[in-house]
Structure formats: structure tokens, C-alpha cells
Amino acid sequence: MFFYYLQLAVRSFRRNRVLTVLMVLTLGLGIGASITTLTVLKLLSGDPLPTRSARLFTPVINPWAADSEGAVEQMPRWWGDMMSYTDAMSLLHARKAKRQAVTTLTKARIAPTKPGTYPFFGGGVLTTPDFFAMFDVPFAYGGGWSAQDGENRARVVVISSALNNRLFAGRDSVGKMLRVNDHEYRIIGVLKPWAPQPRFYALNFGDTYGDGDAVYLPLQSARANHMLPTNYSCWGPANTAHMETSPCAWVNLWVEFEHAADARAYKQFLKHYVQQQMALGRLHQPRVWLYSLTGFLDREQVVPSDLRLQTNLAFGFLLICIVNTVGLLLAKCLWRSREIGVRRAMGAMRRMIFAQYMVESAIVGITGGVLGLVFAELGLLAIRHQPASYAHLAHLDPSMFAATFAVALVASLIAGLLPAWRACVVVPAPQLKSI
Amino acid sequence: MDIAPIFASLHKHRTPVALIVLEIALACAVFCNAVFIIGQRVAELGMSNAIAESHLVVISVNGSNPDTARADIPRNLAALRGIPGVTGAAVMTSIPFGQSAGVDGVSTGPDSQVHPGASRYMLGEGGPRVLGLRLLKGRFFGPGEYADSTLRGGMMPNGHVVIITQSLAQRLWPSGHALGQQLWVGSEKHYAVIGVTADVARPGSSSIGRGSAHYAVFFPLAPDPAFTQYVVRSAPQNRQRVLHAAEAKLHTLAPNMVIKGQTFAQIRDQAFTATRSMAWVLVLVCLVMLTVTAFGIVGLSSFWVRQRRRQIGIRRAIGATRANILRYFQTENFLIVSLGIALGMVLSWGVNLYLMKHYELPRLPWHYLPVGALTLWLIGQLAALGPALHASRVPPVVATRSV
């Protein structure tokens, strides 16, 4: 039966070529546009660490005297959800979570190893030892540093796979020296390619998406060499030479729990800490926040609002395309009332007519889906040529590939429902009379 | 022309008519709002920035040695001024539309309720002239004010004077008496306003399109490691040559630093990348959407024409001219599109309310609605023209066949 319907559908398409092409093209355009924006939206709002994110949290406290909203116009929480060094280190040393790491970002100036080349900037992550285990960072050679190394201001560095390829042709470079901001650091580890998207551990410190950072340095060692964070927010006279004691927020604290449920106890601890500091006169506002990794991404609005707008627009467009396809399918089916009349008179049941028209719609849908895939690839190609920091990451993945066909099929079946229903209620007698 | 028969026929084909009306309404809603957003973005592209944009080249020099910066900067500037074609060179801490930089909460006093965020520019001697700042009131900094102003590792200069942009002056002192007032930064530091300049853009692109896009303050500063931007001025036609010569010169003077030069035009261009690409995406979507809508109208109209061949033949046989038939289908299309537009106006308003709530968009000005309506009427008439012409060519003899 199915093949018979298929045959009928093909014959009907042949008879009405223009109408068929219009339908497929319309549906293809709508699907192409929505899949393109969805792919980018998924890329930008994705979970950077799917296996760990449920147990990773970041606490936020208000270091200001003023409450969080009123201090500066249009800039609520002006400290950028960063923490002062003092608070972050106190919470780190309290060791109330399974693992904890303080992070901040610097622009590391890396000296070239080959003569005739110029120094260049790479992202420099300043952090504490748990960073690597906590975020499941894969090592190709060597490993991270110990808490003792941090306290001793040891000049050690972990480098990215990209930097290792650039400077040492990808060979094991553990033990070699690297010049960062005019200071010699000993390489103790080389990472495998690692670039979580978005770069959640340095959200307010620069580009949200990219190829990953170049070097990872012990926070205290890097500060001893005067490396400055790329972002800081101060609420009093500050000095860049003494960021640790200045009234400035410039680090993030990340904590990992054994179970996500431990977050409740940690929040209590955080409240208690803030109350204690308020009693000492160091802090003034009791409110605390504890965000899960994905909650923090939402909070910081990592997805550009233009992109969300484009996604809405694409779905509005898809809706128009579906309405259009419904209209065209309906026109085609009304045009064939006489044919339906004949089939009904020859004994075809209503549900058979209904099935026949749904098969026809599904074929339109699948062809539209294939075309939509072509349009989506073209759209993503155009996006890859944009200068945005996420541009080169825009590729159609298998799940989106499958989603294209799901969307196409569902869209076409929805579009087919009305015409198919209209077709199966055609009364045969009047149609036959006019032959 | 009598439209009663058209209504009768539309009433008979309620479902297809309803679909076309719905499609036009959706297209109208999306179109009006998209055109509104495009208009906004295009206006942003022309954002004012009162400096000599076409004369400037900017070379960022990062990683200078804090201990020698005070001696290096005058040496580098002297070398840059020696390049043929260069008419001036100065140092700054940040550049309009360039890399994001310091923002301060400023006010008229510690008890003030108004705390706009303003971008902080610090200029070396000669900076205002090289940039081409346009002074509206007051004066520029004197040589002594540069020499007395230092950072010593702090965030704020320890001088006593500031120049502010017109927008910021208006925000803080709406009565217009900014000159001579004290501008407070936080609750400890304050500076005397000695000048008001025409509006200069802030660094970065995040404030583009906002009311605060021109909130900026200028401080004088003696040579300091915080100066990372060398601004070089030349005639517009010499910019490229000057850029390459300046980069080469700084590379030889400061081999350990990261040096990157751009013309100011490039910097401005980059700041508006997102704005421009959004405008293009919207233009593209509008075009494709209108095409799709036109396809829909063509499809349904031709179906109607074919279905009514016999009626058309009868009308022709009893005296209707070709023009009558053509006009009939065009009028029919006009009525359907008008219905769609009426519904579309309501939808546009709804979509705009949604966008206002979620995307900080202002209210849709009413004049975008007639623009949308006219466009859709035009598209409708054009799309129906083909099928209507086809209909008008139906010969009267059709009426006599197969009755």
C-alpha cells in the first residue's frame, strides 16, 4: 500500500511541477534557517563539561558597601561577579568542598624560541592546583603543581597542546624553559587539546569562546612576577602592584562537591563566612549566591542577545514557511478533488485517502529536509566567515543532522494534516458528476 | 467595481483564504519589526565620534618594562614623529572603539543619586591635538597638568583636572554649568572640570546603541607604563605607509613587546562587526520571507484561476472585458492582503511588546506599520499579476465546453 501511495505521490508531483518545487523550496529555506541558528545557539549555550557540570559550583558574594543593584547606573553587580583575593583565598583554605580552585586570567606575553620571530600574547590562566583534577583537564606529558609550589612562588608552567606544537613541534617539552612576561618558567606539564566552550572558568575576563588558553601558571607565582588580571573591579583606592590587598575583585572561586546536594550546606557555610566578615567590618552586604556551572552561564548571559533574537526570527520564518506549505498542499489537494472522488467511488476508504496525502506530505517534508540541510550548511559556511570568536566552531553535528530531518518531517506532517483531512472528507458523488 | 461577488467567492474558499491571510499577517509582523531593528542598527553604524578618525593610526605596544617606561615613551614618540608624513604622535591608555578599558562610577558629589558609568581615557601630552578632540567649552590641559599627574601603580591619576564629553556633562549637570564643577569618582577622589568636548565614543562595542554610548572622561598623565596605545596622525592618504613605518620603528626600539598597528578606520570597523552582520542577516531574512510569501500567493492564485476557468469563460462570454477579469483578481488579492495586513498590525504590536520585554528594544514607531503595509500590498499585487493575466486570457469559448 505504502509503495502505491509513493507512486501516486510521484505522479502528482510530476503533474504539478511548479507547485511542488515551490513547496520543497519554501520548506527547505525555513528548515535551513532554523537549523543554522539552532546549531549556533546550541554551540554557544552548550554545557562545557557535561560529565562534571552538575557537581561544579561558583560562589558569589557582594564585596561592596552598597547593595547589588544601586551602585552604578545600568550595571547591577558591578564587581562583575568576581571575588577579592582575600575572600577567595579564605574560602579556598577552608576546604569545605571536595575540590576548590581560584582562577583568573592574564594576557601572557610569550617570548619566541626561534630567532627572527616576535613575542605574542596567549591566554594565561592563573590558578591553584585543584584546577586540573576538578575540570578534568587531560595531560599529554607531565602534570600540574602542588599547593606547596604555589606557596613557594615556584616558577613552573603547564602549557597547552597548541603552544607546545608552536614552540616545540609537539614533542615532550617537560623540563624545558619558557619565557613568560620576561621571566623564566620551567614547563612541568603539557596538555592534550582542551578548550571548553564557553570558557566558563574566565567568563568576565575576555572572549567567551575560542581555541583555549596557552599557559597555566600558579596564581601566587604569576602575581609575584606582577602579572595583572585582564579584568578587575575596585571600590576604593587601589594599586596594581598590590592587587592582593587592594579593595578589588579580580578572581573567581570554583568548587566541586561529591554530590550536587552538598551545595545547600556550602551555601550555609558561605552565609556564615559573610556574616563573620561583616562583624569584622570587612564586608557590608549579607547576600550570597551559589551558582551551578550552567546556572552561572545563564546568569552571565553568555549567549549574545542578537543570536537569541535571530533564533526567534528563524522560527517565525519557519512558521511562515509551514503556513505557506499548508496553503500550497491544500491548493493541490483541492485541485485533485475529482481524482479523490474517483478513488473513493472505486472503494478507497477515507483513512486510505488520508494516508495517501500524509505520505505525499512526508515526501515533501523529507525532500525539504535534504534541501534544508544544504541551506543550513551554506548558512554555517557564512557564519564561519564572520569574525566572531565562536565563528570557526560552527559546524553541523550529527544530532543537529538528525534534528533537521525530525523538524522537516514534523513540519511537513503538520502542514499535511489539514489538506489530508480536507481530501478525505471529499464527497465522491458531485465530483463524479462533473466528469 | 462591485466587490460583492469577490466576497461571496472568498467566503466559499474560507480555508485557503484564511491560510493566505495568516501567512501575510505573520510576514507583516516579522517584516515591520525586522525593518525597525535594521533601521536602528544602520543608525548605530553612523554613531558620532568627534575625533579626526580618518587621520589616525593606532599602534598598541604591550608588555613595556615598568621601570624604563618613563624614558622609553618620549623616545618612542620622538622616533614616530620623525617618520615622513607624520603630523603628530601621542600616547593614550585606551582608544575609542578599541579594547575595553577602565570604567568609573562618576557623580557630582558623594551624596549624589546619579552614578553613570563613564569610560576613563588618560592622555599624554599633545593627546587632545593629535586625536582632534573638539572643545565646546573651557580649555585643554596645560603642560604642568600633564607633569603633575601620575598613577604610581594606582587606577586613578593624582592630578586635579578632567575634561568630559558633552553627553556626560548633560547627564550630570543638566542645567549646563559643568565647567568649574567637581567630578567625583567613587567617594574619595574628585577632579575639576576644565573642559567639555564634543561626544567621543567609549572603548569596546558593548555600549553601542545605548544612551550611555558617549559617557567618557579624559585625564592628563605624565609618561607611565599604563600607556599602551600610540596614536599617530597623518594625512589620510599616507595612513597605510605611516602604519607600516611606525610598526617597523617600534619593533626595532622595543623588540620584547607585542606590537600591533591598525588604522583607526579598521578599529571602528571591527567594533561594528556584530551590528553590521545582524543588519545583513535581517535584510536577508526579510527578502527571503517576502519571496516565500509571494510564492504562496502565486501558488494559491494560480490554483484559483484554474479552478474558475469556466466561470471566467462565462463572464467573458456575457460581456466582461479582459481588463475586467484582470481587475477582478487584482481586487481579490488586494482584499485578502488587506485582511492579512490588518491582522499583521496587531501581531506586529504583540511581537514588539515581546521584543521590548526580552531584548531592550524601544517601542515600534507607528510609521513602520504603513511601510510594512505598502510593501505587502505591492508584493501581493505583483504576485497576483501573473495568474491574473493568465485568467484574463481565458477565451470566452471555454464557457461553452463540457457543460
Domain extent listing, chain B: 4-46+274-400, 64-256
The DSSP annotation for B49-78 comes to: --S-GGGEEEEEEE---TTTHHHHHHHHHH
Grid cell 528594544 is found at B361
Residues of chain A by 3-state class (helix, strand, coil), percent to 5: 50, 15, 30
CB < 8 Å to B30, chain A:
313, 316-317, 320
What is d(CA B189, CA A245) in angstroms, rounded to the nearest whole number? Answer: 19
Q: Which residue has the higher pLDDT, A95 or A404?
A: A95
Q: What is the pLDDT of residue B1?
A: 58
Question: Are A22 and B105 in contact (CB < 8 Å)?
Answer: no
Strand A83-84 to A248-256 pairing: antiparallel
CB pairs under 8 A between A and B: 156
CB < 8 Å to A376, chain B:
none
- Counting DSSP H helices and E strands in chain A, the numbers are 14, 12
What is d(CA A159, CA B58) in angstroms, rounded to the nearest whole number? Answer: 31
Q: Name the residue of chain B whose CA is nearest to A389's CA.
A: B274
The domain ranges of chain A are: 2-48+304-433, 63-286
> What DSSP designation does B224 have?
-
Closest residue to B303, CB basis, from A234, A324, A335: A335
What is d(CA B154, CA B150) in angstroms, rounded to the nearest whole number? Answer: 9
Partnered with residue B107 across adjacent β-strands are B184
The ipTM, to two decimals, is: 0.81
Question: Are B303 and A334 in contact (CB < 8 Å)?
Answer: yes
pLDDT digits (tens, 9 = 90+) for B171-202: 999 988 899 999 998 777 899 999 999 999 99
As to burial, measured by CB atoms within 10 angstroms (0-12 exposed, 13-18 middle, 19+ buried), residue B137 is: middle
Q: Is residue A434 very low, low, confident or very high in pLDDT (cuts 50, 70, 90)?
A: low
What is d(CA A417, CA A413) in angstroms, rounded to the nearest whole number? Answer: 6
pLDDT at residue A243 greater than cutoff 80? yes
Give the residue from B196, B173, B201 showing the smallest Cα distance to B106: B173
The DSSP annotation for B118-167 comes to: EEEEEE-TTHHHHHT--EEEE----HHHHHT---TTBSS-S-SEEEEEHH
Question: Are B299 and A120 in contact (CB < 8 Å)?
Answer: no
Question: Are A241 and B153 in contact (CB < 8 Å)?
Answer: yes
Mutate to test the interface with A, among B155, B212, B250 (most CBs of A within 10 A): B155
With contact defined as beta carbons under 8 Å apart, do B330 and B385 qualify? yes
Question: Are A26 and B292 in contact (CB < 8 Å)?
Answer: yes
Full-model pTM: 0.83
With contact defined as beta carbons under 8 Å apart, do B341 and B28 qualify? yes
Mutate to test the interface with A, among B12, B26, B301 (most CBs of A within 10 A): B26
Residue range A181-208: average pLDDT?
A: 91
Helix (H, G, I), strand (E, B) or coil at B277: helix
> In Å, how far are A318, B81, B92, B222 from B74, measured between CA atoms?
61, 10, 13, 10
CB < 8 Å to A226, chain B:
66
pLDDT digits (tens, 9 = 90+) for B96-142: 999 877 888 888 988 888 888 899 999 999 999 999 999 999 999 99
pLDDT digits (tens, 9 = 90+) for A275-314: 999 999 889 888 899 999 999 998 888 888 888 888 888 8
In whole numbers, what is the pLDDT of chain A averaged over residues? 87
Q: Is residue B403 very low, low, confident or very high in pLDDT (cuts 50, 70, 90)?
A: very low
Give the residue from B257, B205, B256 showing the smallest Cα distance to B230: B257
CB < 8 Å to A228, chain B:
none
Helix (H, G, I), strand (E, B) or coil at A253: strand
What is d(CA A419, CA A333) in angstroms, rounded to the nearest whole number? Answer: 6
Closest residue to A74, CB basis, from B22, B212, B255: B212
B232 phi and psi angles, rounded to 5 deg: -120, 130
Nearest CA of chain B to the CA of A233: how many Å? 9
Give the residue from B39, B45, B34 showing the smallest Cα distance to B272: B45
Question: Are B278 and A422 in contact (CB < 8 Å)?
Answer: no
Closest residue to B154, CB basis, from A181, A237, A317: A237
Question: Are B273 and A313 in contact (CB < 8 Å)?
Answer: no
Mutate to test the interface with B, among A324, A329, A330 (most CBs of B within 10 A): A324
CB < 8 Å to A422, chain B:
15
Closest residue to A182, CB basis, from B62, B256, B358: B256
Nearest CA of chain B to the CA of A200: how many Å? 20
Close Cβ partners of B276 (under 8 Å, ≥ 6 residues apart): B41, B45
- Residues, chain A: 435
Question: Are A238 and B154 in contact (CB < 8 Å)?
Answer: yes
Question: Are A78 and B105 in contact (CB < 8 Å)?
Answer: yes
pLDDT digits (tens, 9 = 90+) for B205-221: 888 888 889 999 999 99
Nearest CA of chain B to the CA of A358: how many Å? 18
CB < 8 Å to A327, chain B:
16, 19-20, 23, 296, 299-300
